[in-house]
Amino acid sequence: MKQTTILIILLAMAHISYAEEAFHPADTNQDWQISAQEFQAYNQAWQQNQSWPHGTVPIPLTDLTRAAFLLSNGGNYFYDDSKTDALRWVSGKKPITNTLGMTFVDIAPGTFMMG
């Protein structure tokens, strides 16, 4: 029983550490938002074929293009592991699902009217 518990804890820790790797490489402060400064630095590193501390080296054009897309759509993004390659980083805020299975999404101010 003790070995099973340890194995479950190790598997949970492995999953948590994998989730930490889900940030876009351009998001250097890992706040789920790509700023103009972060994008400029990432773009410059790509243009000069420099290495980058996070992600694939050399920087793939698909990751750079996705960073530009995310920035042009407000900068906020979340990770969706059901998608592939650079499309894993989705523009917007991650929907929240409670224990009852209800999903809540972020609605921008001034875009929703009841009635």
Q: Which residues contact 114 (CB under 8 A, 6 or more apart)?
A: none
Q: Quick one: pLDDT at residue 64?
A: 98
Please report, in tens digits, the pLDDT of each residue of the chain (115 residues total): 566 555 455 445 544 444 445 899 999 999 999 999 999 999 999 999 999 998 888 999 999 999 999 999 999 999 998 999 999 999 998 878 788 888 777 777 777 777 6
Q: Quick one: pLDDT at residue 95?
A: 76
Which of 97, 17, 94, 25 has its CA nearest to residue 56? 25
Q: Quick one: pLDDT at residue 94?
A: 81
Classify 44 as helix, strand or coil. helix
Q: Tell me how far apart the alpha carbons of residues 56 and 67 are, in angstroms, rounded to a whole number.
A: 14
Q: Quick one: pLDDT at residue 41?
A: 98
Contact call for residues 1 and 7 (beta carbons, < 8 A): no
Q: Quick one: pLDDT at residue 96?
A: 80
Q: Which residues contact 49 (CB under 8 A, 6 or more apart)?
A: 58
Q: Quick one: pLDDT at residue 77?
A: 96
0.85 surpassed by pTM: no
Q: Tell me how far apart the alpha carbons of residues 29 and 57 are, in angstroms, rounded to a whole number.
A: 19
Q: What are phi and psi of 75, to 5 degrees?
A: 95, -30
